[in-house]
Structure 1
Amino acid sequence: MSTTLDEPVTENQATHAARLQAGTTAVRLHIRWPGTRKSLSRDQKQQAAGAFDADSRTLSAAKRLFDTSHPSFRAVSAIKTKAGSLWKGMTLPYIEPGVRLLRRGDVSEFDDRMNTIRDELAEAVDELDRCLSELVDQARCQLGHLFDPADYPASMSDLFALAWDFPSVTPPAYLRTVNPAVYEQECQRVQAKFTEAVELAEQTFAEELSQLVSHLAERLAGSVDGKPKVFRDTAVTNLTEFFERFQHLNIGSNEDLDQLVENARQVINGVNPQDLRDRTSLRDRVACSLTQVESSLDELMTDRPRRNIIRGPR
């Protein structure tokens, strides 16, 4: 892959990119998951098309193999979501697909927590395996003539897996002696990627903050049928969690964004969700202040568009 940017990298940008590179390591999350649907065979599609007087050549159809709403399947799916949320929550975005950046000081915590989640997945899959015959019987009843026992495994235990690794995103050291010119070229490409990663982090934080602020401001403003709009506690707690994550992961590359995050933090600092429901004056004040933050965030994201990155053939 070749990477070039449409504008020169400033000294300040290079400094932030170098700091990000020095303080993070790349991490990938791998999830193996079985398919829960299967395309109908040609004969089955012809049968289905006949019921609707349709041309089977233009029909796309699939059958659901498992009832994913079954408690045992939902438990497994919840752990998959948990793993993905942890991976994204502890990391910053990177421009390589499937790769994110983890602070080096967080590697041990990330590894420990992922191991715990992997153990939870193994337990949940064991329970799912115990329910396999029930799920197959359920599918037999629901699918009728479309049911095929060959679609189902003898066990589910080998169909789920959770793994992670820490790939290198820096040029191999041997290039320095084998071909210094190529090594320098690769170093420049890495710097360009981390420069883009810095701006991706800024954009991601700004967009997330904008969504959280906009949602809470909208819930606090106005009324429905003469009554204040209903909002969940998470509309407030999600912002608090964002502030904590921003403080930990922020690389300090955008002073304007830092100030807007601090402004939003001050608006809801010490604010209890129930107080917002009970005190109209507090509710109105917070809504007004958050709307101002939202407006400033919109200006920030308009004034600082993402740098265009050109990705060549892989």
Structure 2
Amino acid sequence: MATSNWTAPHPSTFILLGIPGLEAAHVWISIPFCSFYILSVVGNCLLLAVIKSEPSLHEPMYLFLAMLAFADLVISTTVVPKTLCIFWFKDHAIHIDACLAQELLIHGVTNMESGFMLAMAFDRYVAICNPLRHSNILTSWAIAKIGLGVVLRGIMVIGPHPFLLKQLPYCTTNVISHTYCEFMALVKLACVDTTAMRAYSLLIVFLTAGLDFILIVLSYILILRAIFHLPSKEARGKSLSTCTSHVCVMTAFYTPAFFSFFSHRFGHVAPHVHILIANVYLLLPPMLNPIIYGVRTPGIRLRLLHILGLKPA
């Protein structure tokens, strides 16, 4: 790949290779990528429309779900169009400012998604372990403050990334072996010691997404303990069913996320495998979330069928 626009040590343009080793299959790989993106956009837009139009869904769980759906739309649109340009039109170049903006949105919004999932787990915890106080604890004002707090956290912890990355000297190459501008992919191009920056990135992940995951697990331990103390089997089954959708969404998000994160820093995974997993981490959850909640939530399912004209009001 030519790098004629690159002038050391601060290139104006980076070159995104796509998926090294699978260049011949880029067109075929673009088919599921494009399909996932279309399903993600349509599904999340429908989910937002359903939650907005149905007053019975203006509850904490679904308001947090709406925040998650909007974040999913941002993530998908930040990554997929440029990736498809690489696959279809061989448009590998990306200006450094666009690259840093993409990196900021990817890491910032995924950080927010983790926070929204923690908020949803907190809602389930209060609803099951302290149901009489649920409406008093999770008021509209409390939901707004939680949502704003999650957004501000994502901005504050990821906001320094572009400034740090722009100060690095890239005096070896401007070629990024990836489909998008990822923090560690850029750090690895620098020709200076980046130990402190890598440690900073690791600390941020553990203090945000890692801590979110630990708190979610703890909340579900308390939830399960409360459920198994319920007097009837029917009550236990109903309580468990309200948590199933969230557990599925959480699994789809955290499993590829942690695999991608640890393999990039500590593993010896083949580059094309790592890049495919990194894309699955950003593409699969936004596509699955509306499907999971649409199938498992009667209120969403019935309202969606009405919007689509498949069921009378």
* TM-score interval, smaller chain: under 0.3
Structure having the higher helix fraction is 2
Q: Tell me the TM-score normalized by structure 2.
A: 0.26
Structure having the higher strand fraction is 1
Q: Tell me the TM-score normalized by structure 1.
A: 0.26
